[in-house]
Amino acid sequence: MGAFAYRYGVLHAESVSVNDIARAVGTPFYLYSTAALEAHYSAYAGAFAGQDAGVCYALKANSNLAVIRTFTRLGSGADVVSVGEMKRALAGGIPAERIVFSGVGKTREELREALEAKIHQINVESIPELEALSAVASSLGVVAPIAIRVNPDVDAKTHAKIATGKKENKFGIDYDQARDIYKLAASLPGIKPVSIAVHIGSQLTDLAPFRAAYERVAALLHQLRADGHDIQRLDLGGGLGITYKNEAPPDLADYAAMVRSITGNLGCRVTLEPGRSLVGNAGILVSRVIYVKQGLHRRFAIVDAAMNDLIRPSLYEAYHGIIPVAEPEAGAALEPFDVVGPVCESGDTFAVQRPLPPLADDDLVAFLSAGAYGAAMSSTYNTRPLIPEVLVNGDRFAVIRPRPTVEEMLAAERVPDWL
């Protein structure tokens, strides 16, 4: 668990007791460790040291400003998928020249704002987007540096809902059409193709699909150069998995060595877009058991966090470790619990028949590996205010997003005067 560990019988985040934070901010809340965020970033920096490579953190995984700022201080760039995220990246101190803009449905207005902000690169995912970008760039009198996101038709061997690299996917351009589209791009006013982008999916736990995709990108690079395009960058996407349960994701050193073996002598600057592997295991979700309810055949732990706070289990049947904040006695017998939230959906279930130490009303529990795609995917379903996010650094902590009151939520809405 790294930065999250039991000390004196209580779960700690670095040097702060999770009990103390719960008392101060109330449950449920997300809790992130600065030391873990920094360690994960430094692991990338270390593994790629000596290669012409840089990290553009994929903000979508966790776009809290303080998290962004933590990476800014370490020299990160950003991969953004909306103008909202672009503005977050800029507000978090990431310089425009380190921002790449991905996504299948960028609007003309978003393209205009990205060009006006002079970001590093726009990763184009379709011909209509290319034509729209050409028109917008021409109207502004600028030239847009672009990558085309190619779809290498590689099976990422991950959950179907988070695989993006197979043929006939909404993402990217078919590999076999890539040369024609680069030719079209080079012919359009306001467009300069400078890079190739690829991203085949998320939570990959095997190097082989990455290698297959990157080899196809390298082959395409040679063809594009032969076609006369001046391509000096490769954007290799994100996707490296983390351990939620017993997955064994590739070692970063092996990943970096594989990248070097494929791209080392291509004369290209490489961009990496990790999201989950930087933040996933740097965060937990802390929740309180409201009731333990004994059903006819099973026991339910009803907790105060719900699917609106952490949707991954409902959406992808994702596994998150669950541990009590009070350290269980050594050898405590495990009992199967269904861990569920209060939302009115059967899908509001975090775990089914999970063996856990005895739980009682009011106990605090922690959902592990919740730093990525947790807070970022939360909603206010059932009028549940977004939960606080807290950042620990050594022996101090700060609320980095406070819990809005229901009154504040209501004040943001408008009832027309004809009602």
Ligand X SMILES: Cc1ncc(COP(=O)(O)O)c(C=O)c1O
Torsion from C-alpha of 176, 179, 184, 189, nearest 10 degrees = 130
Q: Which two tokens stand for residue 366?
A: 């922690």
Partner whose footprint covers residue 274, from ligand X, ligand LYS, none (CB < 5 to 8 Å by kind):
ligand X
**Structure tokens, 345:** 């959906």
Q: Is-catalytic flag, 344?
A: yes
203 binds ligand LYS (CB under 6 A): yes
Please indicate if the annotation marks 276 as binding a ligand: yes
12 binds, among ligand X, ligand LYS, none (CB under 5 to 8 A by kind): none
Residue 255 Cβ vs ligand LYS, minimum distance, rounded to whole Å: 18
Q: Spell out, one character per residue from 68 to 87, where the chain touches ligand LYS: x when CB under 6 A holds, - when not.
A: --------------------
Cβ neighbours of residue 416 closer than 8 Å, sequence gap 6 or more: none
Beta strands in 172-237 (DSSP E): 173-174, 191-197, 233-235
* Residue 129 engages ligand X in binding (rule: CB under 6 A): no
Quick check: helix, strand or coil at residue 194? strand
Pick from 214, 211, 148: nearest CA to 183: 148
Residues 211-270 that bind ligand X (CB under 6 A): 237-240
321 is in an annotated binding site: no
125 is in an annotated binding site: no
Nearest Cα to Cα of residue 214 among 181, 256, 259, 179? 259
Choose the contact partner of 324 out of ligand LYS, ligand X, none; CB within 5 to 8 A by kind: none
Which residues inside 91-110 make contact with ligand X, applying CB under 6 A?
102
Q: Order of strands, edge to edge, in the sheet holding 4-7?
A: 4-7, 10-13, 16-17
Question: To the nearest whole angstrom, how small is the minimum distance from the Cβ of residue 202 to ligand LYS?
Answer: 4
Report if residue 202 touches ligand LYS, rule: CB under 6 A.
Answer: yes
- Minimum CB–partner distance for residue 89 and ligand X (Å): 13
202 binding ligand X? (CB under 6 A): yes
Q: Pairing relation of β-strands 191-197 and 233-235?
A: parallel
| 89 lies in the binding site for ligand X (CB under 6 A) | no
Q: 117, 144, 121, 120: which is closest to 132 by C-alpha?
A: 144
Question: Closer CB to ligand X, residue 27 or residue 121?
Answer: 121
Those residues whose C-beta lies under 8 Å from the C-beta of residue 58, and which sit 6 or more positions away, are 78, 79, 238, 273, 274, 275
Cβ atoms of 178 and 216 within 8 Å: the answer is no
**Chain residue at closest Cβ approach to ligand LYS:** 373
The single residue of 160, 296, 344, 412 carrying the catalytic annotation is 344
Answer for which of 162, 186, 258, 386 binds ligand LYS (CB under 6 A) is: 162
Nearer to ligand LYS by Cβ, of 120 and 312: the residue is 312
Name which of 123 and 202 has its Cβ closer to ligand LYS.
Answer: 202
Indicate whether 312 belongs to the interface with ligand LYS (CB under 6 A). yes
Amino acid in the structure at residue 35: A
Verify cis geometry, omega within 30 degrees of 0, for the bond prior to 189: no
Number of residues that bind ligand LYS (CB under 6 A): 7
Q: Which of 175, 214, 373, 397 contacts ligand LYS by CB under 6 A?
A: 373
Task: Report the DSSP pairing between strands 269-272 and 233-235.
Answer: parallel
Pick the stretch among 260-268, 275-283, 351-359, 381-389 that binds ligand X (CB under 6 A).
Answer: 275-283
Instruction: Please identify, using beta-carbon distances, which residue of 77 and 341 lies nearer to ligand X.
Output: 77
Nearest alpha-carbon partner for 205 in 238, 243, 231: 243
User: Taking the alpha carbons of 379, 305, 321, 319 in that order, is the dihedral positive or negative?
Assistant: negative
Please count the residues of the chain.
419
145 forms part of the interface with ligand X (CB under 6 A):
no
Verify binding: residue 276, ligand X, rule CB under 6 A.
yes
Q: Quick one: how far is CA 182 from the chain centroid? A: 29
Nearest to ligand X of 209, 341 (CB atom): 209
Catalytically active residues are: 344
Q: Which residues bind ligand X (CB under 6 A)?
A: 58, 61, 79, 102, 199, 202, 237-240, 273-277
Q: Which residues bind ligand LYS (CB under 6 A)?
A: 60, 162, 202-203, 312, 316, 373
